[in-house]
Amino acid sequence: MEKFFEKLDLSLKTNSIIKMTLSKPVSKNNELRNVYVKPILLKDNKMYQFTFRYERRDETKNFDAKQTFDQVKNLVPEVFQNVSLFTLTEDVTLLVSKKGKPTLMCKKINEKREADLSHDHEKQRLIDPTNPWWHLLGLTTRDGKVMADMQHKFKQICKYVEIVDGVMRQTKFDDEVHIADMGAGKGYLTFALYEYLMKNYDKKIMMEGVEIRKDLVLKINDIIAKCNLKNFRFIENSIEDYKPTNLDVLIALHACDTATDDAILKGIRNNAKLIICAPCCHKQVRREMEKSSKFDSITKYGIFLERQAVMITDAVRALVLEYCGYKTQVMEFIEYDNTPKNVLLVGRKSEKAIDKERVAKEIKNLLDQYGVGEHYLWKNLWKNCRTY
């Protein structure tokens, strides 16, 4: 902790801060969700703009270097557990555990960076609400203003794009990137990602939304045609029956129960470089646990049984991805206040050798411990497939 504040103090004295983010509130009931800090020039004076992001509003305040140090000192670790500090020469991340143990990670930066000192009151959005498809999708008015009852949804969409962008930038792709969004629904997230990638990536983006409901597919394809969007289409199909010709990135958000497993299998068997899933309900493993009646002092209570089934289901999914040669990450997608579906499971194809025997043993021990006779993904990985 002391070393982090030494680095913060030095970066303020040397004017080397690019930006800083305070996140992960100590209390889930805290209305203040994040704080974003950036340097600005205000009447020729170097200041630091703090954007305090609450559940349904933002507040902006400007501080000098000393005030900035004091503000961060007051907020960390009492209010926030995580800080990401980006400077001209280094990325510094402070993580504080629930027990108060701090971990500091530092990464030297070789590329040339410049601080953006513009004092722009206009909200910087990753996607542009004035684009015509947002009105046709029902999120904005004709003049491109996000409708009042869609403000929260629009924030979620922007957060989703930010997370997926961060994951994709850690993955190497060829000049053409084929993306399948499984169970794409009304298309909000599919359009957002397509828009962002087309604008910010120097690659040919091939986007396909997979949706089983015919009326939604017809509606979305009509919007795509009206807006003249290239290399983008929705197809009417189930996740299980979908047969891609090329697949670099597979996305499946909130596919119900074993549909998430079908999506992961689709990515594995098509050798996708990146698999991104936000799992939904976990009925299959819970039924297995109830069938075995192997309850302990935690799982004998219904609500805890359900939560344990969630953790076991997703832990095995992460291990199966690891077994199949993916470097696996589990992260928070959307905060609890917005939706309980807050786990994002990310698998990035790795060239490193995998100790499959060890991983398989981990999976078996986990399933045995909680009396899970079979896990849909682990069982179906072997079905009609000789690779594994």
What is the rounded CA–CA span in Å between residue 220 and residue 197? 19
Query: Which among 92, 108, 124 is the end of a domain?
Result: 108
Q: Is the domain of 228 the same as that of 347? A: yes
Give 221-250 pLDDT, tens digit per residue. 999 999 999 999 999 999 989 999 899 999
Q: Is the domain of 346 the same as that of 265? A: yes
Q: Which tokens is 344 given?
A: 């994002």
Q: Is the domain of 363 the same as that of 264? A: yes
Give 352-367 pLDDT, tens digit per residue. 888 999 999 999 998 8
Q: Is the domain of 140 the same as that of 269? A: yes
Flag whether pLDDT at 338 surpasses 50. no
Q: Residue 339 falls within a domain, yes or no?
A: yes
369 CB burial (10 A radius; 0-12, 13-18, 19+): exposed
What is the rounded CA–CA span in Å between residue 233 and residue 128? 20
Q: Is the domain of 8 the same as that of 145? A: no
Q: Is the domain of 38 the same as that of 152? A: no
Give 24-77 pLDDT, tens digit per residue. 999 988 889 899 999 998 877 889 999 999 877 788 899 999 999 999 999 999
- Stretch 187-199: mean pLDDT: 94
What total number of domains does the chain contain?
2
Q: Is the domain of 73 the same as that of 176? A: no
Average per-residue pLDDT for the chain: 87
Q: Is the domain of 174 the same as that of 299? A: yes
For 93, how many CA atoms within 13 A lie in the half-sphere containing its CB? 6
Q: Residue 348 falls within a domain, yes or no?
A: yes
Phi, psi dihedrals of residue 210, rounded to the nearest 5°: -110, 120
Q: Is the domain of 23 the same as that of 137? A: no
Minimum mean pLDDT range among 10-24, 135-149, 327-341: 327-341
Give 173-192 pLDDT, tens digit per residue. 999 999 999 999 999 999 99
The C-alpha torsion from 208 through 247 and 166 to 358, rounded to 10°, is: 140
Contacts of 261 (CB under 8 A, 6+ apart): 317, 376, 377, 380
Flag whether pLDDT at 337 surpasses 50. no
Q: Is the domain of 209 the same as that of 171? A: yes
What is the rounded CA–CA span in Å between residue 361 and residue 366? 8
The C-alpha torsion from 282 through 340 and 85 to 327, rounded to 10°, is: 10
Q: Is the domain of 250 the same as that of 151? A: yes
Q: What confidence tier does 370 reach under pLDDT thresholds 50, 70, 90?
A: confident
What is the rounded CA–CA span in Å between residue 52 and residue 57? 9
Q: Residue 118 falls within a domain, yes or no?
A: no
Q: Is the domain of 92 the same as that of 140? A: no
Buried/exposed 11-37: b ≥16 CB within 10 Å, e otherwise: bbeeebbbbbbbbbbbeeeeebbbbbb
pLDDT score of 112:
74
pLDDT score of 387:
58
Q: Residue 366 falls within a domain, yes or no?
A: yes
Q: What is the model's pTM?
A: 0.66
Q: Residue 359 falls within a domain, yes or no?
A: yes
Q: Residue 56 falls within a domain, yes or no?
A: yes
Domain that residue 360 falls in: 132-381
Handedness of CA 114, 159, 135, 233 (dihedral sign): positive
Q: Residue 124 falls within a domain, yes or no?
A: no
> The CATH number of the domain where 281 resides is what?
3.40.50.150
Amino acid at 217: V
Q: Residue 114 falls within a domain, yes or no?
A: no
Minimum mean pLDDT range among 164-168, 341-345, 361-365, 369-373: 341-345
pLDDT score of 308:
80
